[in-house]
Structure 1
Amino acid sequence: MMTAAKVSICLPVLNGIDYLAPRMESLICQSFEDWELIVADSFSDDGSWEYLQTFKNDPRVRLYQIPKEGIYPAWNFCIEQARGDYLYIATADDTADTQLIERLSELLDRFTDVSIATCAFDYIDENGAILREAGSFGGRFYGADLDRAHRRPGLMEFLVHSFFGPSWTTITSVLFRRSIFEQVGLFRCDLGPYADNFWARLAALESDTLYIPERLATWRIHPQQRSRGRSSQHTTAKAMAGAAVLSTVEDRLPAEWKALPHWRKTLLQTDWNEYFGQFNLYRHKLRSHPSAFMLGLLSALGRNPAYVAQQLCKGFPAAPNSNLEDEVRIIEQFCQLVKPALRVEELA
């Protein structure tokens, strides 16, 4: 009987033929060789499935066809098939440095109490050229710490995920211990593009995160990229799910946080600002884009009339003044309340 590989690579595919060859090459040529590749094709009709057949005789590669239900069901399917101790989620149009899995698995081998290891990445264009102006969500908080290898406390990551989105920005720069999916569960399939955001928040309460500054992953920006836009339905689901997540994990959050006035509202302010912002019920919108204001008013009357009444009583005030400095200050305030103070720990 064949022993399980140490690393399971998950690769969902839907009509990815334009970039599938460089993606497969970047996986097949990994310097770390103890891996299995689980490919889940959602009945592509552009030649992707036929191309993948060229790997069917490789014992490390398992090919499946699954219903076309979206990216998160496809991720979940692959995760359920995984047998390795570590798990890497690939995307069909991105690439990876040949040392990505080796370097990140070394981190998880070294720190056995941690289940998440991530690295720096580059945005690339359709031709694979690096877009120099790229930045990460996590960089908005971690700043200069991104230049050194470090360990991020889980509670700090929970805050960063909540205010800025997943700190790693692209899941293709992360290696997970597979057991964390047993602790946290799979990705929700009812949140549109926010599913990895909420999974990340829950995962942060199960594990710290290890980071190295080596640029070992890419995120490709190209004309054929499928939209992951934020619809009003998804924005509403995000706000509701954020509140539900907070209720679920409340007993695991520091008492010092919960002693603050309006702590719950503070932790959810990004979610709710995005939800209410979709209605455009602000004075400047009424003046500059009255049609957008009226459409938002009609939508809000049907979905949240109490919010309309609140804005009316306030004379349709300016939009909430949320900026990077405010969000960083809030995160730092919450971190300093925990004793010992939460801080990034440099890796020797």
Structure 2
Amino acid sequence: MHPIAVILPVYNGGEYLKLSVESVLGQGFGEFEFYILDDYSTDESWSYLTSIQDKRVKLFRNEKNKGLFYNLNFLINHSAEPLIKLWSQDDIMYPECLEKTVAFHRKHPDIGFSYSERHYIDGDGAIIPVQVTDRTPEIVSTTLHSRIAFYTGSIAGNIANVTLSRDALNRVGLFREDMKISGDFDMWVRLARDHAVGFLKEPLIQLRDHKNQLSRQEKYYVFHLKEDLQVYHYLLSYVSANERIEGRRLLRDYKLLFYYTLMAKSLIKGRFRTFSHFYGLLSRFDNMGLLTVSFLRQRIFQRNRYNSPFRDNAVIIEKNT
């Protein structure tokens, strides 16, 4: 058996799908299987996929659209390799990605999952400069992961940046199919409860940032908040009492402040239904008076804390560890 499976859900992959697939098939490390599930695409994705002539590729197709987390679970269940590299139709692997990922997991066999440094690219494939210094340790403990999760949410930033340990996955279960957006964040939090997280400190992939992605749409954030709060309820249930106090403070000053700002903007724009959704979710989870104080403090001192990228967050958190 090969040491690693690459799993790729596809839905209307468009112009980037071929580049993404070719970056996997072009890996210098050949000991992998490549499982692809087409989620009933309406473009030419399936036609392209069926044209691929490579024995490592295993193709499946849904008879109707079923969503990301169903597709990931399907592919996990149809693979058997001990490591599972999650992949995306928009992104690019560097040629040494799988080789270095497998070597890292062999060095750290007890981690629940790993993620790597990454480059961001625009719709044309040009690298987007990011001026940050990442001091996140190679092995992230459960406690540090919790602090990062309270601060910024998903530690990995993107599903395509993650490799799962099948042994750890068997202990916590599959992705939640009732979630549409935060199922990945939920998975990382469940895995990190009893397993350390690994961080490869060099870019192994290119993540594409383009304007048509769901995360650019306003309505996305209401659903994102609703599902994120479910994950935070679970995270708060297993950290220590002191970590719970700190976690609520971090949430209020960073992650929830981001959503509070979106709520305020929706009110200013006269989008009262959106405002009502945000208000209802936030008020059931936290004290709106304290959130308002945090918001006003941020506005007065012009601190853009709620919008900080993860790598800046990691620096701040590690300095306080």
TM-score by length of 1: 0.74
Q: Does 1:95 align with 2:78?
A: no
Q: Does 1:22 align with 2:19?
A: yes
Distance in 2 (CA, whole Å) between partners of 1:263 and 1:208 is 20
Alignment partner, residue 152 of structure 1: 140
Change (3 A) 1:106 1:131: same
Which consecutive unaligned segments of at least 5 residues does structure 1 have?
Answer: 337-348
Aligned-pair RMSD on alpha carbons?
3.5
Correspondence list, 1:105-254, <5 A: 105-133=102-130, 143-145=133-135, 150-227=138-215, 229=217, 230-247=220-237, 250=238, 253-254=239-240
Distance in 2 (CA, whole Å) between partners of 1:299 and 1:85 is 42
Alignment counterpart, residue 295 of structure 2, candidates 305, 312, 319: 319
Q: CA deviation at 1:176?
A: 2.0
Q: CA deviation at 1:82?
A: 1.7
Correspondence list, 1:6-45, <5 A: 6-45=3-42
The residue type equivalent to 1:31 in the other structure is G
The residue type equivalent to 2:295 in the other structure is A
Change (3 A) 1:26 1:32: same
The residue type equivalent to 2:264 in the other structure is N
Q: Does 1:49 align with 2:49?
A: no
The residue type equivalent to 1:125 in the other structure is D
Alignment counterpart, residue 257 of structure 1, candidates 229, 237, 243: 243
Q: Any idea what the Cα deviations from partners look like across 1:164-197, whole Å, max 9, x if unmatched?
A: 1222222323322122221222222344322212
Change (3 A) 1:331 1:221: closer
Which consecutive unaligned segments of at least 5 residues does structure 2 have?
Answer: 299-304
Q: Any idea what the Cα deviations from partners look like across 1:2-28, whole Å, max 9, x if unmatched?
A: xx3221110111111311221111111
Aligned residues: 304
TM-score by length of 2: 0.79
Distance in 2 (CA, whole Å) between partners of 1:300 and 1:98 is 43
Q: Any idea what the Cα deviations from partners look like across 1:44-98, whole Å, max 9, x if unmatched?
A: 222111111123x533211001231222222222112121011101101111011
Correspondence list, 1:264-283, <5 A: 265-266=248-249, 268-269=251-252, 272-273=256-257, 279-280=263-264
Change (3 A) 1:150 1:227: closer
Q: CA deviation at 1:256?
A: 4.9
Change (3 A) 1:34 1:168: same
| 2:142/2:195 contact within 8 Å kept | yes
SS in 1 for 2:117: strand
SS in 2 for 1:113: coil
Q: Does 1:68 align with 2:65?
A: yes
The residue type equivalent to 2:225 in the other structure is T
| 2:23/2:95 contact within 8 Å kept | yes
Higher relative contact order (CA 8 A, sep 6+): 2
Q: Any idea what the Cα deviations from partners look like across 1:139-160, whole Å, max 9, x if unmatched?
A: 7xxx4426xx722223212221
Identical pairs, percent: 22
Q: Any idea what the Cα deviations from partners look like across 1:242-285, whole Å, max 9, x if unmatched?
A: 214432xx2xx346536xxx45633653565456555439xxx9
SS in 2 for 1:112: coil
Distance in 2 (CA, whole Å) between partners of 1:330 and 1:61 is 42
Please identify, of 8-17 and 214-223, the stretch whose mean Cα deviation from structure 2 is larger.
214-223
